[in-house]
Amino acid sequence: MSWLISLLVLSALIFFHELGHFAVARRLGVYVEVFSIGFGKKLASFRAFNTEWRIAAIPLGGYVRMKGQDDSDPTKTSPDPDSYNSKTPLQRIAILLAGPAANFGLAFVLYFLIALGGPQVLSPVIGSVVEDSPAAAAGLKEGDRILAIDGKTVTTWDEMSDVVKRAERTIALQIERDGMVENIAVTPKMTETQNMFRETVYRPMVGIGSAGETHALDLGLLGAVGYAVDETWEASKLIFISLEKLITGAVPTSELGGVVTIVKITADASESGWMAVFFFAALISVNLGVLNLLPIPALDGGHIMFNLYEMVMRRAPSEAILFKLTIAGWGILLGLMSLGLYNDINRLMQ
């Protein structure tokens, strides 16, 4: 059942992406011939809004096929006024941006719903103190609850950690211990550690670990909006940084995951409740939005690049160049998908 839920979630994310393209294309007077969830053989279809809506056999994506626009052959154009290529470059860019924008918008909505449900966060309670660390020297103990740093209230472990990581001097902690409030000064020490990408980094640390205590965030309507904006932005930054690390080789290609990994993570999340499903769905939705903006021919970003070229140069790229770049783009995509699938299979066999 969890795997079925994960496939439905992935299909829903693809649907919203393509719905963004569909809505703006129709708004600009472009005839949409096909709206497909999945690739390959058609499994089911119906007609509505003068468009064929179909479900295809391979659930690795989807597409909206507009009149005069064909990703497999960019030379297939139409001069009709209701065709995609009869629109101005700016209008085409609007259609192309609508898909990723729909993914970012969906992620915002999901994070907003998570916020309204009261997401669980780690409380700033110390669970362990490293021997001979700044925390041990300052007298911090297991069970201490950090209330404020340098007079600024902290309510989560992440808030406390962020302050410590930026510290350049001694910081003043206000803690609660055995029902009493105490003030303790501690000087963070530059310490070798690993970041989330398993890179060796040096950053200020005091030598404490979390007790694992959690509490629900009590957010009002405006707080939920702020939470959704922050989480969508942070998820976008994380994906951009991950891509940069992957391209530069800081993160090995073996870490790349494919659709199997996505489905498995979502399936595992479904066993932890709706909030976990919403969280991973939001992250994957942002992922789809970011990846589709990459300037790779056959992706939205590649088409945007071609239209920007036409706007600047006052002429479209030649059909020969478009065809060759599109084939190259598909080669890159298929290569990445194959690598992701290869890694997925390796993980399943371990």
Q: Number of helices (H) and strands (E), helices first, in the chain?
A: 9, 12
Cα angle 328, 304, 40 (rounded to 5 degrees) comes to: 55
Active site residue 192: no
278 φ/ψ sector (left φ>0, alpha ψ -120 to 50, else beta): alpha
Strand pairing class (120-122; 180-186): unpaired
Among 239, 224, 264, 275, which Cα is nearest to 100's? Answer: 239
Q: Which residue has the tokens 């020297």?
A: 137
Active-site choice (18, 176, 213, 310): 18
Q: What's the DSSP call for residue 203?
A: E
Residues contacting residue 302 through CB under 8 Å, at least 6 positions apart: 294, 295, 296, 325, 326, 329
Q: Residue-wise over 7-32: b if at least 16 C-beta within 10 A, else e?
A: bebbeebbbbbbbbbbbbbbebebbb
Among 108, 147, 107, which Cα is nearest to 125's? Answer: 147
CA 63 – CA 55 distance, rounded (Å) = 11
Residues assigned a catalytic role: 18
